[in-house]
Structures are given as C-alpha cells and as structure tokens.
Amino acid sequence: MSKISVCILDYGSGNVKSVYNLASTLCDQVIISNQNETIKKATHLILPGVGAFGSSMEKILKNIPLDILHQEVFEQEKPFLGICVGMQVLATKGFEFGEYKGLNWIHGEVQKVQVKEKSLPHIGWNNLEIKQKSPLLTDIDDQHDFYFVHSFTFRSEDENNNIAFSHYEDKISAVINYRNIYGVQFHPEKSQISGKLLMRNFLNL
C-alpha cells in the first residue's frame, strides 16, 4: 500500500493515536493533521470520535477546515471513514444533550438507543447483521465481532445507506455508506483482527 496516504483528522475528541497505530500497521504514510495541504495530498481520510455529538461538532467547526474537507470528499471523491462519533456527525442532526446540527453528509438523525432491560451505554463486543455487500466488508461476515461504546445510534432517512446493523435490544446502525463516505459505529482500533481487516478494506478502496 505504498501509494496510499492517510490523513487522520484530529479535533481533540477521539482515539486518534489508536487509529493511527492501526492504520500504520497497513500503510507507511499515515499523518495526523488538519492542515489544508495534508488533507489535499491524502488519498484516504479518517474522522475518529469519542464523546457527545454537540461538543464534537463544536470542535469540528473550530478545528477542521470543512470547506477543504468537503471539496476533497465530494469533488475529489476520496474515501472517507467516520468512526463512532465521527460517523454520527455525518447526520443531519443529533439529539444528545439537546438538538445539534451535524455535517448533513448522510441524511438522518442520531437518536438514543432504545432499551428497556439493558443498560446504556452499549459497551462491548457485538457482531454484525450485514444487509448489503460492500467493499468495506470484504471477508467480513456475521461471525466477526467488533467493539462498541455508545448510547446513540444513526437512523438514516434512506434505508439503502445502511450496510450493516447490530442489535442491543434496539436495532443499531453499525455501518453506513453513501457513495465514497463510510461510517462505523464501532471502534476498529479496539476490534483486534476484525478491526484490522476492516481498516485494510478501507485502505483498498
């Protein structure tokens, strides 16, 4: 993967170093940066995330050049991966501790996981219910477990954007996709073999 260049966006909220370590096992050129030129030179873009929707969006608006990022994702069509809250902020809006606008890259809302018996957050290993074939899930099936930590889930307006679900009483959007934009609710960087496989697939896009 010598021709691959990965830019991991850092807005002060996420397992940035862990994502860097995972990507670095598969690619020699991995940089943590919000700089315009680095984003432009990268072939693949990753937005990690840990924390609440609203505070994450506030940091993104403050720290990431969204005009440049939007250009590279939508015009240059570079593969983009949002992880956990980095996936959730792709939505139109989120309802964690209030109502907040998202990036609106994939139409939908981020709402609280509905549980009656189980407790939130949803923490731990869970498998996928794959609904659509996707290059991001090459060699991944419902026997592969991934590590989740969250209390909210992305509910897409378009069912075709849902690639895979998980279940925690409620139906959880585990993998979403729109064109070259992908999002995963789980943490690949904490998901051991399965996470490395998914990251490999992303870098092969």
Q: What is the CA radius of gyration of the chain?
A: 16
Contact 2, 26 (CB under 8 A): no
Report the alpha-carbon distance of residue 122 to residue 127 in Å, rounded.
13
Question: Any idea which residues carry the catalytic annotation?
Answer: 84, 187, 189
Helices 192-203 and 16-24, interaxial angle, to 10°?
70
Report the alpha-carbon distance of residue 56 to residue 30 in Å, rounded.
23
Report the alpha-carbon distance of residue 182 to residue 131 in Å, rounded.
15
Q: Answer left, alpha or beta for residue 165, where phi above 0 means left and psi between -120 and 50 means alpha.
A: beta
All residues at 6 or more sequence positions from 76 whose CB lies less than 8 Å from its CB, including other chains: none
Output the CA–CA distances (angstroms, integers) from residue 44 to 35, 50, 183, in the order listed.
Answer: 14, 20, 13
